[in-house]
């Protein structure tokens, strides 16, 4: 995986092109994911408008309650439901701070699950850039119908040494 440190090291060596804005914000989302507290999946999200970060989130327990790492997962239908997902936490952080996010983009290391996609759509986010595909392909048709841009930014498109 190419991360921000790799990009800057390659740049210092004159080996890599400059990161695009999409790559830049996705690299930040990957760093944010390192704070996640459910090891079934570490996900990070960044909400951006006009190349400015408005809010961030990672998947974690309800504030003040134990983490999966300490208390174990809370399994339901094969998924851990202890955590609030990264995308929802980024929307919540914006709400707590009174930051308007309508019309913004969200960068997320894994494609939104159905619940997160619904929240993203109703929060007025217009562009979703995701790293790996996660689990729900209903988002593709609905995004198209709502004119929300969905972009898959795979690791392979990150700057590489040449
Ligand atoms: Zn968990
Ligand atoms: Zn989700």
**Distance from the CA of 85 to the center of ligand 2, in angstroms?**
5
Q: Evaluate if residue 75 carries a pLDDT over 50.
A: yes
Prediction pTM value: 0.87
**Distance from the CA of 35 to the center of ligand 1, in angstroms?**
13
Residue 149 annotated to the active site: no
* pLDDT of 35: 96
**111 alpha carbon, distance to own chain's centre:** 8
* pLDDT of 2: 53
pLDDT tens per residue across span 95-145: 999 999 999 999 999 999 999 999 999 999 999 999 999 989 999 999 999
* pLDDT of 154: 78
Give the pLDDT band (50/70/90) at residue 7. low
**Distance from the CA of 116 to the center of ligand 2, in angstroms?**
4
Ligand closest to 80 (CA) is 1
Give the pLDDT band (50/70/90) at residue 161. very low
Q: Evaluate if residue 42 carries a pLDDT over 90.
A: yes
Q: Evaluate if residue 33 carries a pLDDT over 80.
A: yes
- Over range 12-21, report the average pLDDT: 79
* pLDDT of 17: 80
């Amino acid at each position: 995986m190419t991360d921000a440190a790799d990009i800057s090291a390659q740049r210092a060596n004159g080996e890599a092109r400059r990161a695009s804005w999409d790559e830049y914000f996705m690299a930040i989302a990957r760093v944010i994911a390192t704070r996640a507290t459910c090891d079934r999946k570490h996900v990070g999200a960044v909400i951006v408008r006009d190349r400015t970060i408005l809010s961030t989130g990672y998947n974690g327990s309800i504030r003040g309650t134990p983490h999966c790492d300490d208390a174990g997962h809370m399994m339901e239908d094969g998924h851990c439901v202890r955590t609030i997902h990264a995308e929802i936490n980024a929307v919540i952080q914006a709400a707590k701070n009174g930051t308007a996010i309508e019309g913004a983009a969200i960068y997320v290391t894994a494609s939104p699950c159905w619940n997160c996609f619904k929240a993203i759509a109703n929060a007025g986010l217009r562009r979703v850039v995701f790293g790996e595909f996660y689990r729900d392909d209903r988002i593709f048709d609905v995004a198209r119908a709502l004119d929300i841009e969905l972009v898959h930014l795979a690791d392979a498109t990150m700057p590489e040494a040449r």
